Structure 1
Amino acid sequence: MIAALNAAVDQIESQLATDPAEPVDVAGLAARQGTTEHHLRRMFASLAGMPVSDYVRRRRMSLAAADLFGTGDDLLTVAVRYGYGSTEAFGRAFRSVHTVTPGEARRQGGPLRTQPRIRFHLTVEGSVPMDTRITQLPALHLVGHAARVPLVHEGPNQHIADHVASIAPEETRRLKGLNDTEPRGVLAVSDDLDPDRREGTELTYLHGVATTTHPHSDGLDVIDVPAGTWAVFRTEGPHPSALQDAWAATATTWFPSQPWRLRPGPEIVATLAFDAGAATATCELWLPVEPA
């Protein structure tokens, strides 16, 4: 995967150098590297710390800044070269990266916030093994109560906490009675995530259970999940930091060294044990995968 990411970056840089106005086809980049757009976007964002779309935008504006100083072209000519139909649209994009307008940058010489070219490297520590298993699940239904919430990368997600708190304990007990397959117990399901995993983007969060029989109970939201392969990561420790660290480590450590890649589908957390006093938990993180 590291080689595929670097090859994708090479193709991005080549396109920006020859035709900076042309939109980057991420799906095409992924196909040429023998992977999927879904997996490439997730791995890029996790390893680079930014979505591939942000990297392209920052690199494009870094090259545009060099053009402002390296050529005598007027602002409209530079704007059109980078795919903008007006100096106003170009100025907004330029300022979003450099915090100054193109005119201010040209007059004052900066400040500029250029984005260096990214290169990916894998450092294998091997000191902390990941407790992982691969399993097959039949077609199933995730049923419960769903809400749209913002994505939070670190720390508690208050929107999720408020949603779960709004569900009566007797309703959670009713849901437990519907669970007839793995993952066991009451689940935290994240679905319809932004492909680039931008913090603050919305996702569908479902507080519910897994069942192989479609329930006829009123008032339940349902996510239908086809049969497939899942990677299951067991975590123990401070909650939610241990779980969030494991989530990040799947991209930085596990996937680059394993013959699996992410496939589209919900991401599921099953809480096996929780100590509220110590703020610790034992969890299973379920990610849908397919052979790489």
Structure 2
Amino acid sequence: MIAELNRVVKAVEEHLTTEAGDLDVAALARTLATTEHHLRRMFAALAGMPLSAYVRRRRMTVAAGDVVAGREDLLTIAVRHGYGSTEAFGRAFRSVHGAGPSEVRRDGGPLQTQQRLRFVLSVEGDTPMDTRIVESDAFRLVGHATRVPLVHAGANPDIQAFVTAIAPAEHARLKALSDRQPAGLLAVSDDLDPDRAEGSELTYLHGVARAGTAPDDLDSIEVPAGTWAVFRASGPYPAVLQETWAATATQWFPSNPWRLRPGPEIVAVLERADDFSTATTELWLPVEPQASRP
């Protein structure tokens, strides 16, 4: 995966101006024998930023050189870097540098440079990951769903408020509906932004996995048959869960012949402290075999 991500970085550099055309991430993923879904997820996890944000920052870094040079008008520079107007270019420029193009041309700054990324292999993995591969029939996730912003670190206050508002009797009712693996009450994230951008919206469902039909008063997510990688971890909650997800990207996927496929991400809490300060969790990620390079 490291080599593939470095090819993505090279392709970004080749498509920073409109003369080269827009970067077709889906087509690039196909040439790398993977999928756009997996490529974007792995880039975001390992780079610490979405691919779309990296492209914008690199484009504005290169554009800043043209702006400071002062040899061309701002509209010419804007069009070269993929913007149809100086207004749209100015908004993107300010979002990266904290100042507009005219200010930077006049003052020479401020400028926030995005260096070209280079992914390197770090020899880690000294702690084995407790993982199993599960083949599953089609099933449905049943419960109460809402839209919430994505939070990368720490507790998600929107999810906390949503779950707290569910009556204790309803938790018991949901748990009784569970009739298959993953068992018990589940935290489900679906419809995630491909780049996993902080603050982007996702569908969160508090519920259970069910082979049978769903009651009419509950939300439902249909899950097709497929393969799942299941990661078990114990420790401070939710930090252990967030660290487990990060480790799948930095250690497990680069070392194993699997890639993410579209589908919900499911968390099952197997054991927990009374105050939920610690927990044993299982993270279920939908996967498929990684295709061989031609």
Tell me the residue number matched to 2:202: 203
Tell me the residue number matched to 2:140: 141
For residue 80 of structure 1, give the secondary structure of its aligned residue in structure 2. Answer: helix
Amino acid at match of 1:68: V
By how many angstroms is 1:17 displaced? 5.7
Distance 2:121 2:179 in 1: 40
**Gap change, CA 1:17 and 1:90, over 3 Å in 2:** closer
RMSD: 1.4
Cα deviations across residues 188-242 of structure 1 (Å, max 9, x unaligned)?
Answer: 0000111111111111111111111122x23110000001000000010101101
Maintained 8 Å contact 1:133/1:231:
yes
By how many angstroms is 1:158 displaced? 1.3
Maintained 8 Å contact 1:124/1:253:
no
Alignment of 1:94-243 (within 5 A): 94-215=93-214, 217-243=215-241
Tell me the residue number matched to 2:59: 60
**Gap change, CA 1:156 and 1:18, over 3 Å in 2:** closer
By how many angstroms is 1:166 displaced? 1.4
By how many angstroms is 1:38 displaced? 0.4
TM-score (structure 2 length as normaliser): 0.95
Amino acid at match of 1:19: E
**Gap change, CA 1:101 and 1:278, over 3 Å in 2:** closer
Maintained 8 Å contact 1:186/1:209:
yes
Maintained 8 Å contact 2:12/2:23:
yes
Distance 2:276 2:7 in 1: 45
Cα deviations across residues 234-274 of structure 1 (Å, max 9, x unaligned)?
Answer: 01010110111111111111111110000000000000011
Distance 2:72 2:271 in 1: 64
**Gap change, CA 1:45 and 1:33, over 3 Å in 2:** same
Maintained 8 Å contact 2:154/2:238:
yes
After TM superposition, the structure 1 stretch with the greater mean CA deviation from structure 2, 231-240 or 107-116, is: 107-116
Cα deviations across residues 131-172 of structure 1 (Å, max 9, x unaligned)?
Answer: 111111110000011111111111111111111111112212
After TM superposition, the structure 1 stretch with the greater mean CA deviation from structure 2, 149-158 or 85-94, is: 85-94
Amino acid at match of 2:241: L
Tell me the residue number matched to 1:2: 2
Distance 1:158 1:81 in 2: 42
For residue 144 of structure 1, give the secondary structure of its aligned residue in structure 2. Answer: strand
Tell me the residue number matched to 1:11: 11
Distance 1:169 1:277 in 2: 16
Maintained 8 Å contact 1:8/1:33:
no
Distance 1:225 1:277 in 2: 32
In the alignment, structure 2 segments of 5+ residues that lack a partner are none
Distance 2:239 2:83 in 1: 42
Distance 1:147 1:189 in 2: 11
Maintained 8 Å contact 2:137/2:225:
yes
Alignment of 1:1-40 (within 5 A): 1-16=1-16, 19=19, 22-40=21-39
Distance 2:69 2:28 in 1: 30
Percent of pairs identical after alignment?
Answer: 65
By how many angstroms is 1:124 displaced? 2.1
Q: Choose from 260, 263, 271 the match for 1:262.
A: 260
For residue 15 of structure 2, give the secondary structure of its aligned residue in structure 1. Answer: helix
The number of equivalent residue pairs is: 290
For residue 177 of structure 1, give the secondary structure of its aligned residue in structure 2. Answer: helix
Cα deviations across residues 88-132 of structure 1 (Å, max 9, x unaligned)?
Answer: 221111111111111111111111111111111121212211111
| Segments ≥4 residues shifted beyond 4 Å | none
**Gap change, CA 1:119 and 1:204, over 3 Å in 2:** same
